[in-house]
Amino acid sequence: MPLITSAQIDFFNDLFNTQENTDVEPEISLQNLTLVWSADTYTPYEYQGRTLPVVSSEVTVSAILEISGNSPERLKYSWFLDDVFQEDKSGYGRDDFKFRIRNTKSKSQTVSLQIFNESRSFFIERSLTIPVVEPEVIIYPSRSSDQGNQTSAVKAGRTSSFVAKPYFFSIEKLTDLTFEWHFANNVRLTAVSSTYGANILDLLVSEKTDNQVLEQNLLLDVKNKTNSFQDASKMIKVQIY
């Protein structure tokens, strides 16, 4: 029977050690983990605040992971929405999580993320709370940039223009909304309109025979044509001089 030489023994030891080392997961060090989110709702172009989600809108949460010792794509991502595991949206390298706001009663939704390797020698967890709002609309005179006033003054016998700006609807353009204006005891001024310019009202108030200030209500109803859950109303006082 042939004898195994020392050189052969060293060869097999090296082969065994190499195989053993390939099964050992590399040590991972966390540099940073940040969760960022965005909603698909509409805001006017000059709006500088955060775009907020409403019922039926889509939210995207992204994990920005910085590590050393491995690639983020080789780690497992487990997503949770309000403590419910989202199995179909979890897995290796799944660093984006998309969901729709479906809870019509809650004012926020919580997203949690767990990231780990196969042996769980590396494990990190983060969570964030996302506010849920309702669509809204603001009315202001076209000659003014002040959107905070609840009262506007107009001159009898002249045409005054009002502009409506909607916020947080799941739309891409204004024509996806319908605008219905009412003035003075809910008399409809215009038919329901979803054309460009429907968010602008040119209001002509008849001449007055006295010097008293007359006050009337200007009401606007806005609706999403493709989503019955999304609508908003706004009323301001119009003082006629």
Q: Report which listed range, 2-6, 137-141, 183-187, 230-234, is most confident.
A: 230-234
Q: Could you tell me if 184 and 94 lie in one domain?
A: no
What does the pLDDT look like over 104-153, one tens digit per residue?
778 999 999 999 999 999 999 999 999 999 999 999 887 765 555 677 77
Domain assignment present for 190: yes
Three-state secondary structure of the chain: CCCCCHHHHHHHHHHHHHHHHHCCCCCCEEEEEEEEEEECCCCCCCCCCCCCCCCCCEEEEEEEEEEECCCHHHCEEEEEECCEECHHHCEECCCEEEEECCCCCCCEEEEEEEEECCCCCCEEEEEEEEECCCCEEEEEECCCCCCCCCEEEECCCCEEEEEEEEECCCCCCHHHEEEEEEECCCEECCCCECCCCCCEEEEECCCCCCCCCEEEEEEEEEEECCCCCCEEEEEEEEEEC
Q: What's the CA gap between 192 and 222, in Å, rounded?
A: 9
Per the prediction, the chain carries an average pLDDT of: 85
Last residue of a domain, one of 131, 152, 184: 131
What does the pLDDT look like over 177-195, one tens digit per residue?
999 999 886 555 655 677 7
Last residue of a domain, one of 84, 103, 131: 131
What is the structure's pLDDT at 2?
Answer: 53
Number of domains in the chain: 2
Domain assignment present for 62: yes
Q: What's the CA gap between 75 and 93, in Å, rounded?
A: 6
Query: Which pTM value belongs to this model?
Result: 0.79
- Selected residue with higher pLDDT from 196 and 110: 110
24 pLDDT above the threshold of 80: no
Domain that holds residue 87: 6-131
